[in-house]
């Protein structure tokens, strides 16, 4: 991406694209629709991005970076691990508001190898950080001592696969509700708080 990272038009295009993709999915939204909604010309779009795929990759990287910053902010607080988990769940909720099943399908079932590689790398980075924090919490007694970290990674990966499960998608009316149910189930199981 040759364009300046902080250029005003690039920021507007990324925000507009995210909003449109979130609502309608990636495949359905065209460059023309993004430009119209952003109030910029196609020339401006192509000055900032080679094509829609590059825009999607930049958006995914931006989401990853914002997610990591939020995670770090929460985990670096001087509060109990339980409180951190509650804040992480709330953070996940805020970040998944309004996310459509179309967007999730386009992300998780993409035929773009670069995007899939970007997603996989982002997921691995996030899991590595999370496991480090979970091991620390385990040593401090906040997580069961007998729980294997490999099991946590397996379950996190399985949860990502469940997002596209057709049966679960029939049960939950929106991607947002499914993501939150999977997140709460991972941390709390079937128990009340």
pLDDT tens per residue, range 97-156: 999 999 999 998 888 888 889 988 998 899 999 999 999 999 999 999 999 999 999 998
- What CATH class has 56-188? mainly alpha
> Does the pLDDT value for residue 1 go beyond 50?
no
Average pLDDT, the chain: 91
In the structure, what pLDDT confidence band is assigned to residue 79 with cuts at 50, 70 and 90? very high
In the structure, what pLDDT confidence band is assigned to residue 193 with cuts at 50, 70 and 90? low
Give the three-class secondary structure for 165: coil
In the structure, what pLDDT confidence band is assigned to residue 5 with cuts at 50, 70 and 90? very low
Domain ranges of the chain: 56-188
- Residue 120, token pair as written in the block: 């996989």
pTM of the model: 0.84
* Torsion sign over Cα 99, 105, 182, 117: negative
> Does the pLDDT value for residue 172 go beyond 50?
yes
> Does the pLDDT value for residue 4 go beyond 50?
no
Tell me which residue has tokens 């399908």: 105
The CB-based long-range contact list for 155-160 (8 Å cut-off, 24+ gap) reads 155/186, 156/127, 156/130, 156/186, 157/123, 159/183, 159/186, 160/108, 160/123
């Amino acid at each position: 991406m040759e364009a300046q990272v902080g250029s005003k038009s690039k920021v507007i295009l990324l925000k507009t694209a995210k909003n449109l993709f979130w609502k309608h999915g990636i495949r359905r939204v065209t460059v023309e629709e993004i430009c119209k909604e952003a109030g910029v010309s196609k020339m401006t779009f192509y000055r900032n991005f080679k094509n829609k795929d590059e825009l999607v990759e930049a958006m995914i990287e931006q989401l990853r970076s914002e997610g990591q910053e939020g995670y770090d902010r929460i985990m670096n607080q001087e509060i109990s691990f339980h409180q951190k988990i509650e804040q992480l769940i709330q953070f996940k909720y805020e970040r998944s508001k309004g996310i459509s099943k179309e967007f999730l399908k386009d992300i998780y079932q993409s035929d773009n190898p670069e995007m899939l590689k970007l997603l996989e790398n982002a997921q691995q980075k996030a899991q590595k950080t999370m496991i480090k924090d979970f091991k620390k919490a385990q040593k401090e007694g906040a997580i069961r001592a007998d729980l294997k970290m490999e099991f946590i990674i397996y379950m996190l990966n399985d949860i990502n696969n469940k997002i596209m499960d057709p049966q679960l998608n029939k049960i939950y009316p929106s991607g947002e509700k499914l993501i939150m149910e999977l997140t709460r189930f991972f941390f709390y199981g079937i128990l009340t708080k």
